Amino acid sequence: MEQENCIKLPDIQALKDVIACVKHIIFPGYFEPCPTDGSLRMSYIEAQRRQLHLILATQLCASQAEHFIEQLPEIERLLQTDVDAMIANDPAVDNRDEVIYCYPLIQAMIHYRTAHALHKMQVPIIPRILTEMAHSLTGIDIHPGAQIGEYFAIDHGTGVVIGETCIIGKHVTLYQGVTLGAKNFQTDETGNMVNVPRHPVLEDYVTVYSNTSILGRITIGHHSVIGGNIWLTHSVPANSRIIQSKEIEQ
């Protein structure tokens, strides 16, 4: 059987429509009117699912489009945990609706979790376009190759950078200006950079406060708290508390 030709130039408007459909399926009624009656609501969601499949089929192979649709329940589950994490981490939240409507985390994670699913399917270019759309909208820059667990929270969010080979566990919280980046880059014998793990690993229940840079393939142990304005290039064990040194008066 002749192999499907999956090499297509992305259609930016179609990709915006993909994200819109994902929003309408996972958060029905929030971003456009949706019936409130149970059966009509399910019919609306199913229509959005069919529309999403049609759009994806113009941008991917038919088999890839079907594979992505099969992953929607897991994408929805993860996004709902992200909403829960934001509610649990910010006392300013009044209700769930506020998080979905107002918090840049949700916009960024809809794009990221959609893009990450496509990245795992080895879809070229499109995952990066999707996350860069979110970067432009929210100031949150997440590479689609990063691995991010459930119950992920970013408060405020502006200036957050998460590199391609980051691994982030469950119940991790970041604040604005956090960089999870590379310290240096390896090259091959010809001097070309090689794509190897070079970004941090954050284990479960880690909190990183604002304007901190964690660089290199290091591990931040579970239940650690990294204070603000820290430059960290070495691993720390579980239950660590890393803060700036206090000035001692003479």
Is residue 117 in a domain? yes
- Do 214 and 171 lie in one domain? The reply is yes
**Segment 26-63, tens digit of pLDDT:** 999 998 888 778 889 899 999 999 999 999 999 998 89
Is residue 153 in a domain? no
CA distances from 39 to 26, 28, 43, 218 (A): 16, 13, 6, 50
Query: Of 73, 102, 137, which marks where a domain is finished?
Result: 137
CA atoms lying within 13 Å on the CB side of residue 175: 14
pLDDT at 119 over 90: yes
- Do 117 and 11 lie in one domain? The reply is yes
pLDDT band at 1 (very low <50, low <70, confident <90, very high): very low
Pick the residue with more confidence: 247 or 97?
A: 97
Is residue 151 in a domain? no
| Amino acid code (one letter) for 181 | G
Quick one: how far is CA 239 from the chain centroid?
Answer: 25
Residues contacting 201, CB < 8 A, separation 6+? 166, 167, 168, 217, 218, 219, 220
- Do 43 and 99 lie in one domain? The reply is yes
Domains in the chain: how many in total?
Answer: 2
Is residue 144 in a domain? no
Is residue 225 in a domain? yes
- Do 131 and 9 lie in one domain? The reply is yes
- Do 132 and 172 lie in one domain? The reply is no
Mean pLDDT confidence for 130-148? 98
- Do 193 and 116 lie in one domain? The reply is no
| 35-96-108 Cα angle (round to 5) | 90
Residue 133 belongs to what domain range? 1-137
Mean pLDDT confidence for 2-22? 82
Tokens of 88: 């649990």
Domain containing residue 221: CATH number: 2.160.10.10
Is residue 122 in a domain? yes
User: How much is the pTM?
Assistant: 0.92
- Do 92 and 128 lie in one domain? The reply is yes
- Do 124 and 185 lie in one domain? The reply is no
- Do 119 and 192 lie in one domain? The reply is no
pLDDT at 250 over 50: no
Is residue 239 in a domain? yes
- Do 124 and 177 lie in one domain? The reply is no
Query: Of 85, 107, 137, which marks where a domain is finished?
Result: 137
- Do 18 and 102 lie in one domain? The reply is yes
Query: Of 137, 171, 196, which marks where a domain is finished?
Result: 137
- Count Cβ neighbours within 10 Å for each residue of 3-14 and write b for 16 or more, e otherwise: eeeeeeebeeee
- Do 3 and 127 lie in one domain? The reply is yes
CA distances from 139 to 37, 107, 151, 160, 225 (A): 37, 11, 20, 7, 23
Domain containing residue 68: CATH number: 1.10.3130.10
- What pLDDT is attached to residue 2? 43
Is residue 150 in a domain? no
Scanning 121-222, the segments in alpha helix (DSSP H) are 126-138
